[in-house]
Amino acid sequence: MRDTHQASRRGILRAGLTVLAGGIIATAAHAQDDKVEQSVVQYQTTPKDGAQCSSCVNFVAPNACKVVSGTISPSGWCVAYAPKSS
Ligand code: SF4
């Protein structure tokens, strides 16, 4: 009897974790969708006035950005550029 009760609790816990994991994945996918298109922020693949993605707080090495979609060059730039504090 006790084993059956524990087994069902485990099943409920496992189902809950599955739902939680699904929610996290869905949230991550939604966050990806929330990124701005490169054209909206005038992204370019070359630096501007010495500023470039590799020195921006939003840059995610090796080639992504927290706020702009698509492949981002470390030597690119856009109007959302925000320099890392030194
Ligand atoms: S300059 Fe623009 S594209 Fe480059 S990392 Fe910063 S926010 Fe992203």
Burial class (CB in 10 A: 0-12, 13-18, 19+), 67: middle
**Is 86 found in the same domain as 63?**
yes
Task: Give the tens place of pLDDT for each residue, 55-82.
Answer: 999 999 999 999 999 999 999 999 999 9
Check which CATH number belongs to the domain holding 54 and give it.
4.10.490.10
For the chain, what is the domain count? 2
- Whole-structure pTM over 0.75, yes or no? no
Higher pLDDT, 59 or 31: 59
Measure the CA angle with vertex 37, ends 42 and 56; round to 5°: 60
**Is 45 found in the same domain as 26?**
no
| Residue 69 near residue 41, CB atoms below 8 Å | no
At residue 77, what are phi and psi to the nearest 5 degrees? -165, 155
**Which residues share a beta bridge with 48?**
51
Residue owning the nearest CA to atom 2 of ligand 1: 78
**Residue span of the structural domain in which 82 resides:** 35-86
Residue 35 DSSP one-character state = S
**Is 82 found in the same domain as 51?**
yes
**Is 30 found in the same domain as 14?**
yes
**Distance (Å) from CA 27 to ligand 1 centroid:** 22
**Distance (Å) from CA 15 to ligand 1 centroid:** 40
